[in-house]
């Protein structure tokens, strides 16, 4: 299969395109995926440059020899390990890979099913591949950093499709304010059931629909 990676970390000029063996059939909870799209994000850049430091001793555990880069991806499951419970061949999926395994800049990839999600039908492979790291960051910010509790007030400034991963936090919030483009107000209200107001609004008034714009927010999220 074709794959892109590095045999020595450093400059972007170190990138190589190679023919490498296709991954073996999956075992355990792994799934073998035909990659349809992959993302390019800061983790990929740092790993390739040799400066990834989320774990101080990361490069001791990184793939040796030719390291296929790529953290996020989207594609179709071809085979599943004997212990797989969440996926079957033919399922479309997107995933956030493990930095200690070979990545998504390849035609095929072995991934733990614990790192995979079923691809939303409205999204194509390209969009699905781009959401892994950003969705994870949004989720961790809401649940791990802010630790949103029931009945707290949340203010969220939403940019483009970033609202999708935030929906899992809305049900915990007493009130959620979303700052969105005017032309998308109705769409957002239908999807979220929460209070949306036009971007740039200077003064918020109580809504007649039973959704109240609160003046105090326990959290703000951008």
Q: What is the DSSP string of 114-164?
A: GGEEEPPTTS-HHHHHHSHHHHHHHHHIIIIIS---TTEEEEEE--GGGHH
* Higher-confidence position of 60 and 180: 60
Residues 18 and 121 in one domain: yes
Residues 35 and 82 in one domain: yes
In tens, the pLDDT along 163-176 reads 444 444 444 444 44
Count of alpha carbons within 13 Å of 203, Cβ hemisphere only? 1
Of 95, 130, 165, the position where a domain reaches its end is: 130
Task: For residue 184, give its domain range.
Answer: 146-221
Residues 126 and 156 in one domain: no
Residues 44 and 110 in one domain: yes
Residue 141 domain-assigned? no
Residues 37 and 100 in one domain: yes
Residues 106 and 164 in one domain: no
> Does the pLDDT value for residue 69 go beyond 90?
yes
Which runs of consecutive H residues, i.e. helices, occur in 56-97? 58-61
Q: What is the distance between the alpha carbons of residues 39 and 64, in angstroms, rounded to a whole number?
A: 22
What is residue 169's predicted lDDT score, i.e. its pLDDT? 45
Q: What is the distance between the alpha carbons of residues 80 and 8, in angstroms, rounded to a whole number?
A: 32
Residue 156 domain-assigned? yes
Q: What is the distance between the alpha carbons of residues 125 and 53, in angstroms, rounded to a whole number?
A: 29
Number of domains forming the structure of the chain: 2
Residues 61 and 166 in one domain: no
CA-CA-CA-CA dihedral for 218, 220, 221, 222, to nearest 10: 180
> Does the pLDDT value for residue 215 go beyond 60?
no
Residues 40 and 103 in one domain: yes
Distances in whole angstroms, Cα of residue 197 to Cα of each of 139, 158, 172: 23, 11, 20
Residue 138 domain-assigned? no
Cβ atoms of 86 and 112 within 8 Å: the answer is no
> Does the pLDDT value for residue 142 go beyond 80?
no
Measured in degrees and rounded to the nearest 5, phi and psi for residue 194 equal -110, 180
Residue 137 domain-assigned? no
SS3 11: coil
In tens, the pLDDT along 107-131 reads 999 999 999 999 988 889 999 998 8
**Residues β-bridged to residue 77:** 33
Residue 92 domain-assigned? yes
Residues 6 and 109 in one domain: yes
Quickly tell me which residue has 């105090």 as its tokens.
216
Residues 52 and 108 in one domain: yes
Residues 173 and 75 in one domain: no
Q: What is the CATH number of the domain that holds 43?
A: 3.90.180.10
What is residue 132's predicted lDDT score, i.e. its pLDDT? 82
Residue 32 domain-assigned? yes
* Higher-confidence position of 133 and 80: 80
Of 101, 130, 159, the position where a domain reaches its end is: 130
Residue 107 domain-assigned? yes
In tens, the pLDDT along 148-207 reads 777 766 655 554 444 444 444 444 444 444 444 444 545 545 554 455 444 444 444 444
């Amino acid at each position: 299969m074709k794959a892109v990676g590095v045999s020595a970390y450093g400059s972007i000029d170190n990138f190589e395109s190679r023919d490498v063996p296709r991954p073996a059939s999956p075992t355990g909870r792994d799934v073998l995926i035909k990659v349809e799209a992959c993302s390019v994000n800061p983790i990929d850049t740092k790993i390739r440059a040799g400066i990834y430091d989320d774990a101080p001793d990361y490069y001791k555990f990184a793939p040796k020899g030719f390291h296929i880069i790529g953290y996020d991806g989207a594609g179709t499951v071809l085979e599943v390990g004997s212990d797989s419970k969440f996926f079957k061949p033919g399922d479309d999926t997107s995933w956030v890979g493990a930095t200690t395994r070979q990545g998504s800049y390849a035609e095929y990839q072995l991934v733990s099913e614990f790192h995979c999600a079923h691809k939303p039908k409205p999204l194509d492979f390209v969009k699905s591949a781009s959401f892994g790291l950003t969705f994870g960051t949004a989720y961790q910010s809401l649940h791990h950093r802010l630790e949103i509790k029931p009945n707290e007030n949340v203010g969220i400034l939403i940019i483009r499709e970033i609202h999708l991963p935030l929906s899992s936090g809305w049900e915990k919030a007493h009130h959620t304010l979303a700052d969105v483009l005017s032309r998308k107000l109705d769409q957002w209200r239908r999807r979220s059931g929460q209070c949306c107001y036009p971007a740039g609004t200077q003064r918020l008034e109580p809504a007649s629909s039973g959704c109240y714009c609160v003046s105090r927010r326990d959290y703000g999220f951008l």
